[in-house]
Chain A
Amino acid sequence: MTPYRLLFAGLACATCLSAGSAAAQDICEDGQAVTLTILRTPGNYPYPAAMKAWQEKHPCVSFEINEVPFAQLADTISVQAAGASPPDIIVYDGPNTQSYAEAGILLPVTDYLPDGWEDDILPATRAEHSYNGEVYSPGIEQTTVALYYNRALVEAAGIEPPQTLEEAWTWPEALEAFKACQQGPAGAPDIWGLGPTRFGNGQPGLVYQDLLYQRSNGDPEAPQDSSAFRTFWALSPDGSTVEGYLDTPEAIEALTFYRAMFNEEGVAPKVGIPNAFFDGKACFYIDTPAAGNALLAEPTIEWGITPLPYFRTPVVHTGSTTFGATARSAHPEVAARFVVEMSWGEYAYMNVSQRGNLPTLRSLFERFDIYDDYPMKVFVDQLESWGQPRPPSPRFAQYDRIVSEALRDVAFGGDPERAMAGAERNVQRALER
Chain B
Amino acid sequence: MSDTHSHSVAFVRTETLPQLPPPASEAGVVKWMRENLFSSIPNSVLTLVALYVIYQLVTGAFPWMANGIWNTNSLAECREILDGATGACFSVITERWNQLLFGFSYPSEFYWRPGLAFLLLFVAAAPVMFFDLPRKLLLFTAIYPFLAYWLVWGGTIYTPLFALLGIVIGYLVYARFVKDSFAMGFFGGVIAAFIAWFIGGYIVGAIAPAEPFLEAVQSRDMGGFMLNMTLGVVCVSLSLPLGIVLALGRQSDMPIIKWICVVFIEFIRGVPLITLLFVANVVLAFFLPPGTTFDLILRVIIMITMFSAAYIAEVIRGGLAALPKGQYEAGDSLGLDYAQSMRLIILPQALKISIPGIVNVAVGLFKDTTLVSVISMFDLVGMIRGPILSSTDWNGVYWELFMAASVLFFVVCYGISQYSQWLERRLATDHR
Same complex: no
Chain A residues engaging chain B, CB cutoff 8 angstroms: none
Chain B residues engaging chain A, CB cutoff 8 angstroms: none
